Amino acid sequence: MSYPNVSRRGFLAGFGALGLASALSACATATPAKPASGSGSTSNALLLKSRETSDGSRKAMQALLDTFVKQHPQYKPKLNTMEAAAFQQQIRSDLTLSTPPDVLTWFAGEIASNFAKQGLLLDASSVFPADGYSPQFAQLSTDASGKKVFIPTNYYWWGMFYRKSYFDKWGLSEPKTWDEFIALCKTIKGKGVIPIALPLSDSAWLTASWFDYLNLRLNGATFHRALLAGQESYTDPRVAKVLDSYREVLPYFDPAAKGLAFQEGTAKWQQGKEAMFLSGPFLADAMPADVKDDISFFQFPILDPAVPVAEEAPLDGFIASAHTANPEGAKAFLGYVATPEAQELYLKISGNTVIPANSNAKSPISTPLLEKGRAMVAGAADVTQFFNRDTNDDQLNVLTAAMVKFMDKPDEGADILKQWQNDSAKARGN
């Protein structure tokens, strides 16, 4: 399988194993395709539009509807599944239809907030649980006016993944601080092993994970969000510090990184030719069972202990259209998928490597890896999504150009940051 010229969303959609966290396509800000006629609902009909195309996810989504209708027989729910890229192109126009889909799969972040600012999302405050969601997840579900407009159902995490057997063979332990991490990289390189995987030929968006974490660890989540929102400048000295730390780790990336596809990079990592991989758990989903059992991760190292620790935890769930013809039915369904029972049902049938967002729900398939991810996110002072969820794909393209150029020309950091700021402003239309 190959993934030529795809964005993070398009790549993860093709990867097909993350359920609600996976079905993210490219073109988040593309011109919407013309919606099909009759796509909305009337009376007690209830249309759920989903971008979940894998067999397990389709079955799980249908199971949610089947269980929901047993509890609410007055409604007539129907599932409409659309390929992820087309779904992404069409969602904005779907939400503006006079008879739109009632409920749609979506994710937390800036794009959802923008929909809410435009008055396109139904107020779900009345069905949002009083407990079960962390303060971070509750905040990510809330619009600027204080209304709950998003129902989280599951999430995953990012970390520095490694194979336990190789770390044991090499006599390595997990680092806690950046200095310990750099020392670990030197040790690994001294053993003739490439310390860090970073396949870029089809996955340049992976550089965003490095920028996100370095910025979060050095400058904190508040500055990070302000920067991504255009309220701070990439020419700020604080961003220059991020590139300084990035420069420190450049010698430890795979020197063939720019010519490697994601699949090639994961194969080298699996074989122990590369030791560590900053990624989400989707890295493990395509691995054989014996390899999966050998995988662990550690938290991205701490650079400044005075900065509150934030973690990347992309959060997925459901939204409803403000123009739904059946607001009570839509809210009833949103209330149902917020329950532990619904989230457990979905994950049990789909088999996806994600964690239920409601803390009262149990993971049907609990592994040490998953529980370690859950504990890390639960212990975070703040939670971010991922660069293009916290901004958009246009800004992600600007970031990848800057980060890849810096890999080639690390002595031109100041000029790169100026260009980054200019390109970012242009992408916003400023």
CA distance 23 to 345: 19
Q: Give the pLDDT mean for 14-43.
A: 37
Q: Give the pLDDT mean for 309-316.
A: 96
Greater confidence, 34 or 107? 107
Residue 34 scores a pLDDT above 60: no
Domain ranges of the chain: 8-156+314-378, 159-312+392-428
Q: Give the pLDDT mean for 340-348.
A: 96
The pLDDT assigned to 353 comes to 82
Q: Do domains 8-156+314-378 and 159-312+392-428 have the same CATH topology?
A: yes
The pLDDT assigned to 25 comes to 31
Residue 4 scores a pLDDT above 80: no
Mean pLDDT, the chain, rounded, equals 89
Q: Give the pLDDT mean for 137-162.
A: 96
Residue 88 scores a pLDDT above 90: no
The CATH number fitting domain 159-312+392-428, selected from 3.30.70.1380, 3.40.190.10, 1.25.40.20, 3.30.360.10: 3.40.190.10
Residue range 188-199, pLDDT digits in tens: 999 999 999 999
Residues contacting residue 197 through CB under 8 Å, at least 6 positions apart = 253, 254, 257, 265, 266, 268, 269, 274, 276, 277
The pLDDT assigned to 5 comes to 40
Residue range 361-409, pLDDT digits in tens: 998 888 899 999 999 999 999 999 999 889 988 899 999 999 999 999 9
The pLDDT assigned to 8 comes to 54
Residue range 323-343, pLDDT digits in tens: 999 999 999 999 999 999 999
Taking the C-alpha atoms of 27, 32, 38 and 43 in order, what is their torsion angle to the nearest 10 degrees? 80
The alpha-helical segments, DSSP class H, found in 321-429 are: 327-337, 340-350, 368-378, 387-390, 393-408, 413-428
Q: Give the pLDDT mean for 250-256.
A: 97
Residue 123 scores a pLDDT above 50: yes
The pLDDT assigned to 1 comes to 29
Residue range 37-83, pLDDT digits in tens: 334 444 689 999 999 888 889 999 999 999 999 999 999 999 999 99
The pLDDT assigned to 14 comes to 43
Of 66, 363, 130, nearest to 138 (Cα)? 130
CB 244 within 8 A of CB 218: no
The residue behind tokens 């008055």 is: 119
* CATH number for region 8-156+314-378: 3.40.190.10
